[in-house]
Amino acid sequence: MSKQKASFGHVFKTIVLPRKNLLLLGLALIIISRLSGLVLPGASQYLIDNVIVNKDFDMLKTLLIVVVGAIVIQASTSFALTRLLSVEAQHLIAQLRVKVQKQIIQLPINFFDDNKSGALVSRIMSDVEGVRNLVGTGLVQLFGGSLAAILSLVLLIRISPMMTLYVLVPVAIFGVISLKAFGYIRPIFRTRGKINAEVTGRLTETLNGIRVIKGFNAEEQEIKTFESGALKLYENVKKSLTSTALVTSSATFLLGLATAGIMGIGGYMIINDELTFGEFLSFTLYLGFMIAPIVQMSNIGSQITEAFAGLDRTEEIMSMPTEDENPARIHNMARIEGAVKFDQVSFAYEEEKNVIKAVSFEAQPGSVTALVGTSGSGKSTIAGLVASFISPQSGRILVDDVDLSTMTLSSYRNQLGVVLQDDFLFEGTIRENILFPRPDATEE
């Protein structure tokens, strides 16, 4: 499988840009939410330095009305933001799952021979989950958080440039640590998707083959196999948790140092009448408004990194050529009479290990052609070649004197009836299974 990588430009073009109106609305909502959140620190400073000092009860009432109004606006916009974007994110996940399933189901049969069904289920259901952090509140929160941090920084500088400069040093160090950590985490998330698919695939096989397992008394063997996969997954998760813990702990340590420094510098400035109590309170609240989005952005960054890792794996699937993407298959099959001819056909599942070699025969319409041979002699392979499940390495297969390799598969298989070697029934009634190839068939 090729290692396709989902670039930011590609993701932006295919996922973000088509939803630009919704995301712009989300951005407007989060800007309103963040701006209304900044009312409280400013009001606190005004309360201490003006209202309380002057014992102004009328201004106190006005101040409370403004603060409550800001809180209502903040809560309302936060609800609307989550409701709009979270629903759209789930809609996108559903669309991507359908898209990936459509791609996988059109891949050649040999792809399914090389990949476990459980692993493919994981690729369809799990790998696209992370996009909720791109279209959901994650990406908008990232922009909104950046805006809130910048606005808070401006207000902090207005109150005390000296204290602000002291705060920016640990914040900058934290930013560098976060960027390094996210670069390290992305490959771990990619590997996790692969391990998860392997474990899921084996588990699906185990449950489907339970009669074989019990028949050979192999329960213990399967338990150990699953345990090995589960532990491998655990080791991968442990690696990413270690990186995430490093980011979180460094945030706690560095921002804790900043807070301690602010207490010292602020206390010194208040004692020297260089700073009022209201300004100090306002500074600490604005500092929280600047730091909280930065810490939140580190979590969102981890989620977006996980989203890109999942999209990397999805891109691998979407870049694979489907059965009908063969440039030679350009003709639609006319109504089939049923004459089948093999002309020097050879086929090998592995290079230089032919299952059939230079086979030639004809089967006329209305006749019965029986293939007789030992197990592994190529009977099922010939049937698979006629059904176009696989293609020959050399030679030609003709149906009604038309080379099968030039026919579109849908026009050919639409006229094909296949009774497979292994029984398979879909969930549902026997009637529904009989109707499966022709859902619109009449009772007759």
Domains, the chain, ranges and CATH?
8-324 (1.20.1560.10), 340-434 (3.40.50.300)
Q: Which residue intervals of 272-339 are DSSP H helices?
A: 277-318
How would you class 176 by CB atoms within 10 Å of its CB: exposed for 0-12, middle for 13-18, buried for 19 or more?
exposed
| Interval 76-102: pLDDT, tens | 988 888 888 888 888 888 888 888 888
Q: What contacts 323, CB < 8 A, 6 or more positions away?
A: 106, 107, 108, 409
CA 287/CA 192 separation, integer angstroms:
37
Task: Report which of 338, 333, 394, 401 is spatially closest to residue 367, judged by C-alpha positions.
Answer: 338
- Diameter over CA atoms, the chain: 108
CA 79/CA 72 separation, integer angstroms:
11
Question: Phi and psi at residue 403, in whole multiples of 5°?
Answer: -65, 120
CA 298/CA 174 separation, integer angstroms:
9
Indicate whether 8 pLDDT > 60.
no
Indicate whether 203 pLDDT > 70.
yes
Q: What percent of the chain has pLDDT over 90?
A: 7
Lowest mean pLDDT among 22-31, 163-172, 304-313, 428-437: 304-313
Indicate whether 320 pLDDT > 80.
yes
Task: Report which of 301, 36, 24, 258 is spatially closest to residue 148, judged by C-alpha positions.
Answer: 36
Indicate whether 72 pLDDT > 90.
yes
In the structure, what pLDDT confidence band is assigned to residue 7 with cuts at 50, 70 and 90? low
| pLDDT, averaged across the chain | 82
Provide the token pair at 261. 């420094």
- Residue 416 C-beta-side C-alpha neighbours within 13 Å: 21
In the structure, what pLDDT confidence band is assigned to residue 227 with cuts at 50, 70 and 90? very high
Indicate whether 2 pLDDT > 50.
no
Q: What percent of the chain has pLDDT over 70?
A: 93
| Interval 42-57: pLDDT, tens | 888 888 888 888 888 8
Q: What does 237-256 look like in DSSP terms, one character per residue?
A: HHHHHHHHHHHHHHHHHHHH
Indicate whether 175 pLDDT > 50.
yes
Q: What contacts 289, CB < 8 A, 6 or more positions away?
A: 37, 38, 41, 148, 149, 152
State mean pLDDT over 102-121: 82
Q: Are strands 394-399 and 340-350 parallel, antiparallel or unpaired?
A: antiparallel
In the structure, what pLDDT confidence band is assigned to residue 396 with cuts at 50, 70 and 90? very high
State mean pLDDT over 180-188: 77
| Greater model confidence, 413 or 69 | 69
Q: What does 183-231 look like in DSSP terms, one character per residue?
A: HHHHHHHHHHHHHHHHHHHHHHHHHHTHHHHHHTT-HHHHHHHHHHHHH
**Amino acid identity, residue 80?**
A
| Greater model confidence, 394 or 23 | 394
Residue 1 confidence (pLDDT): 45
